[in-house]
Chains A and B, each alone.
Chain A
Amino acid sequence: MTGEQIIFLITAGFTLGSGFMVVTTRNLVHAALWLVSTLFGVAVLYALMNANFIAVVQVVVYIGAIAILFIFAVMLTRKDLRENTPQINKNWWAGALLAALVFAGLVFLLQGWSGFSKTGSALPSDFDAVGMLGEALVSPNAYVLPFEVASVLLLAALVGAVYVAFNKK
């Protein structure tokens, strides 16, 4: 087993463990903090895949903004944070069963795929991922439309969220 595989296994265990804590912790602020550690684990996985830009963006967007937003939202809706009420549905077993089935189904489906256990090759040493990403985002025959639509999507999210949350009646 190579060092990279060991790092992967440790990170994967950490990520999944934290993810499990996210969905089971009773205290919602703790759940949000566990989400942070899950997302950090995912960022490490991106770094392991040499996707530097995505790894840093993961930390910037998820830990820097989305986790903060979650904690703020938890604080703004504090009443149901009390830990004495049950946090889990009565028929949680059905959810667990469904999740397990989805996992089993996904693994079963993927196993039949020919590229399942593919291994990658090392990246060329002068590989400029960020530059290529920039070019892909703005060149007319690549992703310029999604690029602009993302802007509209963010605008819609901003306007919608402002309108929904604080429309004074």
Chain B
Amino acid sequence: MNEWLYVALFIVVGLIIPIGAIAAGFIFGPKKPNPIKETTYECGIETVGDTWVQFKAQYYIFALVFLVFDVEAVFLFPWAVKIGQLGLYAVVEGIIFITILIVGLMYAWRKGMLEWA
């Protein structure tokens, strides 16, 4: 039988348990909402302005670099599984692959993109 069936069971049970716990809280807890209670909590004074603050562009760079290395890892996992059986050439190919991407990391770093400010 397909092993993913068991993973699906884990997902289903993994959803049921937290839903059950939250439902228990919903059943046993008091429910007396009012507008004052529902105001957002920020530092003890009233909320000022819009919630959608403008974010630093650096967040995008972090996600971007992560995306690139994520895809890189996708290529490297089959490589890592197989290099034990293959010759030195496979290892060298992988090293070239990684080195090319390290150049990209170096570029982003040199441009000061990986720093916060």
Contacts and interface: CB of A to CB of B under 8 A. Distances in A.
A140 B66 contact: no
Contact-size category for A? 35 or more
Interface in B58-115: 59-61, 63-68, 70-75, 77-83, 85-86, 89-90, 93-94, 96-97, 100-101, 103-105, 107-108, 111, 113
A55 B3 CA distance: 13
Contacts of B75: 137, 147, 150-151
A138 B70 contact: no
A53 B55 CA distance: 35
Nearest to B94: A138
A135 B71 CA distance: 18
Given A66-B67, A69-B63, A162-B111, A155 B79 contact: no
B8 to A, nearest CB: 8
Nearest to B96: A148
A68 interface: yes
Interface centre among B65, B72, B82, B93 (most CB of A within 10 A): B82
Interface of A: 47-48, 50, 52-53, 55, 57, 60-61, 64-66, 68-69, 72-73, 75-76, 78, 81, 130-131, 133-135, 137-140, 144, 147-148, 150-152, 154-155, 157-159, 161-163, 165-166
Nearest first, the 9 A-B pairs at minimum CB distance are A134-B82, A134-B78, A158-B104, A65-B67, A133-B78, A47-B4, A138-B90, A151-B100, A155-B104
Interface of B: 2-4, 7, 52, 54-55, 57, 59-61, 63-68, 70-75, 77-83, 85-86, 89-90, 93-94, 96-97, 100-101, 103-105, 107-108, 111, 113
25 contacts: A47-B7, A65-B63, A68-B66, A69-B60, A69-B63, A69-B64, A130-B77, A131-B78, A134-B81, A134-B82, A137-B75, A137-B79, A138-B94, A139-B86, A139-B90, A150-B75, A151-B75, A151-B101, A154-B68, A154-B101, A157-B68, A158-B64, A159-B107, A162-B113, A166-B61
